[in-house]
């Protein structure tokens, strides 16, 4: 009977868990996955913020065209949104009786300082998206893309 009790005590005292090497391997794998996922996530967030500029510029362009239809001039038309601008600053870089250029410049405080979108009266679009070269003819929706 003594031997049976001793065997039970020895069996229950075995330690279970992970070795230091196993934990280090898991930490290394998590680090590698995080280093891959974080830049993709950051680009995804910037792409979402850039949507504000393209939709607001399209809306402002429609308002400018409606203003021209009513007044036969672009002077005095809506050059900036009345509210809701968070990631971009909107302006008219050119505004005459027959021409305008609307611009959305990214706010540096929001991490969008390297973004710039424009549109004019003939719907000619240009864009600069997060360090890429300025592209004419469309609004880029992601880094390193083309029209």
Statement: residue 28 has pLDDT above 80: yes
DSSP state of 72: S
Pick from 10-14, 89-93, 114-118, 130-134: least confident: 10-14
15-25 pLDDT tens trace: 788 899 999 99
pLDDT at 114: 87
Q: What is the mean pLDDT of the chain?
A: 85
Residue 131 burial (CB count, 10 A): 9
- CA distances from residue 58 to 21, 55, 110 in whole angstroms, order as listed: 56, 5, 22
83-99 pLDDT tens trace: 888 999 999 988 899 99
What proportion of the chain, given as a percentage, has pLDDT over 90? 48
Q: Which residue has the higher pLDDT, 42 or 119?
A: 119
45-76 pLDDT tens trace: 888 898 899 999 999 999 999 999 999 999 98
Q: β-strand 116-120 against 100-106: which pairing, if any?
A: antiparallel
Statement: residue 12 has pLDDT above 90: no
32-44 pLDDT tens trace: 999 999 988 988 8
Largest Cα–Cα separation, the chain: 107
Q: Which tokens in the block code for residue 109?
A: 């405080």
60: nearest Cα among 121, 141, 139, 128: 121
pLDDT at 14: 75
Question: Does an H or E element contain 101, and which?
Answer: strand 100-106
pLDDT at 125: 93
Beta partners for 91?
103
81 torsion bin: left (phi>0), alpha (psi -120 to 50), beta (else): beta
Statement: residue 9 has pLDDT above 80: no
DSSP state of 74: -
For 76, residues 6+ apart whose C-beta sits below 8 A from its C-beta are: 67
Q: How far apart are CA 87 and CA 106, in angstroms?
A: 6
Q: Which tokens in the block code for residue 35?
A: 């280093």
């Amino acid at each position: 009977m003594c031997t049976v009790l001793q065997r039970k005590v020895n069996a229950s005292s075995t330690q279970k868990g992970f070795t230091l090497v196993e934990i280090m391997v898991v930490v290394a794998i998590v680090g590698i996955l995080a280093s891959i996922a974080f830049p993709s996530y950051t680009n995804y967030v910037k792409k979402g913020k850039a949507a504000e500029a393209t939709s607001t510029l399209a809306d402002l362009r429609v308002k400018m065209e409606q203003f021209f239809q009513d007044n036969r001039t672009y002077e005095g038309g809506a050059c900036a949104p009345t509210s809701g601008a968070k990631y971009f600053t909107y302006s008219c870089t050119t505004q005459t009786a027959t021409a305008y250029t609307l611009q959305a410049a990214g706010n540096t405080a929001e991490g969008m300082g390297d973004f710039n979108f424009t549109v004019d009266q003939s719907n000619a679009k240009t864009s600069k998206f997060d360090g890429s070269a300025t592209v004419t003819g469309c609004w880029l929706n992601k880094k390193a893309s083309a029209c």
